[in-house]
Amino acid sequence: MEYLELEKLGDGLAVLHLANRIGRMNMLSASMLTELEYALGAVRNDPAIRALVFISDKEDNFLVGVDLKELERAKEPGQARDFILRIHEVFNAIGALPIPTVAAIHGPCLGGGLELALACHFRVATDDPGTTLGFPEVTLGLIPGAGGTQRLTRLIGVRKALLLMTKGTILNAAQARAIGLVDLAPYPYQLLETVRSSLPHFEKRFRKRRKNRFTLTDRVLQVAGPARSVFFANARRRIKKAAFGNYPAPVKVLECAEKGLEKGFSAGLAAEARTFDDLVLSSESRAMRRLFFSAKASRKSPYTEKARPVGLIGVLGGGLMGSGIATVSAQAGIPSLMKDRSWPGLAPGLQRIWTHFDRQIKTRMGNPVERDMLFGMVTPVVDLELFSRADLIIEAVFEEKILKRRVLQEMEALTRNDCIFASNTSAIPITEIASAAARPENVIGMHYFSPVPQMPLLEIVVTKHTADWVIGTAIATGQKQNKTVIVVRDGPGFYTTRTLMPFLHEACTLLGEGADVKEIDRVAREFGFPVGPFKLLDEIGIDVAWHIAEELHGMFSTRGFFPATGLENMTDDDCLGRKSGKGFYRYIRMPWEKRGMRIPAFKEFRPTHEGVYRYFGERKRRAVNPLEVRDRLVLLMANEAALCLQDGIIANPKDGDLGAVLGLGFPAFLGGPFGYLDRIGIQRAVTKLELLTGRFGARFTPAPILVEMAGKGKSFHGSTPA
Ligand code: NAI
């Protein structure tokens, strides 16, 4: 067999090894199912076997889910359903075995992998950071279709199950054990031993068919129809409201779970298969799967072969970004030095790092020893002495060109010839920072996003002098820090900041025309952005946004963009957004801040800060046409992305889509700006842009690449326009 191996141990225990000999990962595929059917038949026919254990032979994965390439083959309705029905049949056969079955999990056990584990009677998962359990299907626009919506609800109760499945939450073994998803969480080296020693206990539970105990609410929801209907109606409303109905999958999870509770397990499975089939062919899921494949492809880079080891990172600036970079470096196992101008200046950054690791204890993501070890990986310093030992310096000092050039020169004087200098600037061209460098080949941009530990993207910016090994080392470091990396060419605002600015700029122009702050934000959120442009400006900081706008002004002014001077005036009046308590919205201090804690966190207080309108030309607020606003904001952004492609800033549309979705919150269900242009049709986008140019000015002039592609009837990803 190529995927599985059945081994019989002496004491009646059979072990089914998940041992894919073709690829690095264990994945559910049609061929694997065939072997599984065969192995189950052998177990059924052997009376000497009294328990069956599923275990992976791979060091770092149990079963990562359905092989997505199988799904890409589904072009017609019914094809994915047949595959799903077959999985149902095989998994049902596991559950129907007359002996206890145990999934012994080490490494990721996701999607179809967790569904196999759920089909077993018991689950034992190693208490190891690499062991993860969950249903990430909704992040691909799909549902757990291999019995997940039915079995999880019955195992841990409907409320917890729905939370996990609709959000795509991934748990570690401790968290999974706390909610009853796994029975035991031993140390990795004790996995099989623990299963063995627990067999008498499992056999007893199996004979008595003992199930997990549910809370009263969950029991009521499982059996009482009216209570269940109200619960599901509320859940559906909440989900639709949160995402404006843009993502169909989470609602479908609810529907399948409800069907199963109402009409029984088999009806639930049938609903799953039907729904899965529809979703696989949906444009949303296709777009999200394309992003998944692009992210996967981005992990393989020709540069990484040239990467050199990084044993110590020097972070300059212990502010919001610097402390975030030190945090993810510690998580990657790389020690760092974090330097700021003074000890008091370092304190808030250190507190942020501590809070981040400490919070992991509360969420069972870590223990106090791990927290202390991770925190100990960051050494705060106020002098530069130790920096001479660093392999990579990442600067995150204030966004000032002269300061950045100065710290670069200081570092060059202090460090080895093969030490990399990376800047985290969000807009200053790296070439300009490197203009005074003695070793320009060692200079690169590593543009992280805020908050660094949560944001998945790292934009690496290369100049024409940057050496290949430097690019490779930066990519490898970013990947270790668990970031999806895109490599872009240097230029004002690189890719992400350059594409974001027209969006923010247009929102300010709309204010000048009398639009309402909340209204514009709502249009953007309805389109699928997680926050609207004004909320985003408040988060970024109005002063920072104005600084970036000034930096990019040279490029944009020649294309008909006027400076959003309202931002400058707001900056002068200390109206800086969330950090000053007042921007486009108002914010109040949280109670813990009043008690003297330093973490700056303002909560939204009132919907809008009415006084803000005077910075954009006081005039009567008027209703706007949401479709026009949407086109003005989004087409301008997509057009800028196309210009970046044309200028060679990004290498291909896939990188552009990844960068916009992961860095800027462009709706994933549309697949990024290029996916969106394909979806509406490039010809249509060009026509709309031309109309907008006629009405609002030259900034809407369609990118020549779009005009050319429209003429030839081409699309970016080769799919037919809707
Ligand atoms: P921040 O103001 O929170 O932190 C900057 C820190 O640098 C301060 O703690 C300051 O004391 C320190 N500093 C200044 N001069 C220094 C020097 N010579 N040596 C050592 N430390 C020095 O700023 P933030 O938000 O962390 O931004 C830092 C950089 O990251 C900027 O270039 C910014 O454009 C960039 N960036 C910021 C993002 C954000 O959302 N805040 C996103 C992406 C990039």
pLDDT in tens, 262-272: 999 999 999 99
8-state DSSP, 427: S
Residue 644 contacts residue 636 (beta carbons within 8 Å) = no
When mean pLDDT is compared across 51-65, 522-536, 575-589, 649-663, the lowest value belongs to 575-589
**Distance of alpha carbon 173 from alpha carbon 103, whole angstroms:** 13
Q: What percent of the chain has pLDDT over 90?
A: 79
Beta-carbon contacts of 96 under 8 Å, excluding residues fewer than 6 positions away, are none
pLDDT tens track for 17-46: 999 998 899 999 999 999 999 999 999 999
Could you tell me which of 672, 663, 642, 658 has the C-alpha nearest to residue 500? 663
Cis peptide, bond prior to residue 451, ω within 30 of zero: yes
Residue in the structure block whose two tokens are 């359905």: 66
When mean pLDDT is compared across 73-77, 383-387, 543-547, 667-671, the lowest value belongs to 73-77
Q: Do you know the residue count of the chain? A: 722
- 3 state SS of 459: strand
Work out the pLDDT band at 593, boundaries 50, 70, 90.
low
Q: How confident is the prediction for the chain on average, in pLDDT?
A: 92
From ligand 1's centre to the CA of 153, what distance in Å?
46
* 345 Cβ below 6 A of ligand 1: yes
Q: Strand 443-448 and strand 457-462: pairing?
A: antiparallel
- 281 has pLDDT over 70: yes
* 321 Cβ below 6 A of ligand 1: yes
Residue 488 contacts residue 655 (beta carbons within 8 Å) = yes
In sign, the C-alpha dihedral spanning 211, 215, 217, 220 is positive
pLDDT at 223: 72
**Distance of alpha carbon 538 from alpha carbon 25, whole angstroms:** 43
Exposure letters 210-245 (e unless 16+ CB within 10 A, then b): eeeebeeebeebeeeeeebeebbeebeeebeeebee
Q: Strand 587-589 and strand 443-448: pairing?
A: unpaired
- 3 state SS of 323: helix
From ligand 1's centre to the CA of 397, what distance in Å?
4
Question: What is the arithmetic mean of pLDDT over 102-116?
Answer: 97
Residue whose Cα lies nearest atom 29 of ligand 1: it is: 396
Which amino acid is located at 185 in the chain?
Answer: A
C-alpha R_g of the chain: 27
When mean pLDDT is compared across 220-234, 361-375, 475-489, the lowest value belongs to 220-234
From ligand 1's centre to the CA of 398, what distance in Å?
4
* 577 Cβ below 6 A of ligand 1: no
- H helices present in 428-516, as ranges: 430-433, 468-480, 496-512
- 54 has pLDDT over 90: yes
The token pair that represents 335 in the structure block: 């020690």
* 343 Cβ below 6 A of ligand 1: no
**Distance of alpha carbon 254 from alpha carbon 262, whole angstroms:** 12
How far are the Cα atoms of 238, 239, 251, 329 from residue 233, in angstroms, in the given order?
9, 10, 10, 44
For residue 10, the Cα-to-chain-centroid distance in whole angstroms is 46
- Kindly give the number of the ligand 1 atom that is closest to the alpha carbon of 339: 20
- 3 state SS of 602: strand
From ligand 1's centre to the CA of 339, what distance in Å?
11
- 391 has pLDDT over 70: yes
Q: Strand 132-134 and strand 170-172: pairing?
A: antiparallel
- 210 has pLDDT over 70: no
* 429 Cβ below 6 A of ligand 1: no
Question: What is the arithmetic mean of pLDDT over 616-636?
Answer: 89
- 504 has pLDDT over 60: yes
Identify which of 397, 407, 578 to mutate to test ligand 1's pocket (most ligand atoms within 8 A of the CB). Answer: 397
Residue 288 contacts residue 671 (beta carbons within 8 Å) = yes
From ligand 1's centre to the CA of 395, what distance in Å?
8
What phi and psi values does residue 50 have, to the nearest 5 degrees? -115, -5
Could you tell me which of 520, 537, 605 has the C-alpha nearest to residue 571? 537
> Which positions are annotated as active-site residues?
459
Half-sphere exposure of 216 (CA within 13 A, CB side): 0
To 10 degrees, what angle do helices 265-280 and 283-298 make?
70
8-state DSSP, 305: G
- H helices present in 281-391, as ranges: 283-298, 320-331, 343-362, 368-376
**Distance of alpha carbon 287 from alpha carbon 141, whole angstroms:** 8
- 214 has pLDDT over 80: no
pLDDT at 360: 86
* 320 Cβ below 6 A of ligand 1: yes
For residue 63, the Cα-to-chain-centroid distance in whole angstroms is 21
Which amino acid is located at 56 in the chain?
Answer: S
The token pair that represents 667 in the structure block: 């709706």
**Distance of alpha carbon 44 from alpha carbon 360, whole angstroms:** 44
Bridge partner list, 18: 4, 56
Work out the pLDDT band at 722, boundaries 50, 70, 90.
very low
**Distance of alpha carbon 448 from alpha carbon 426, whole angstroms:** 8
Question: What is the arithmetic mean of pLDDT over 323-350?
Answer: 96
- 535 has pLDDT over 70: yes
pLDDT tens track for 132-187: 999 999 999 999 999 999 999 999 999 999 999 999 999 999 999 999 999 999 99
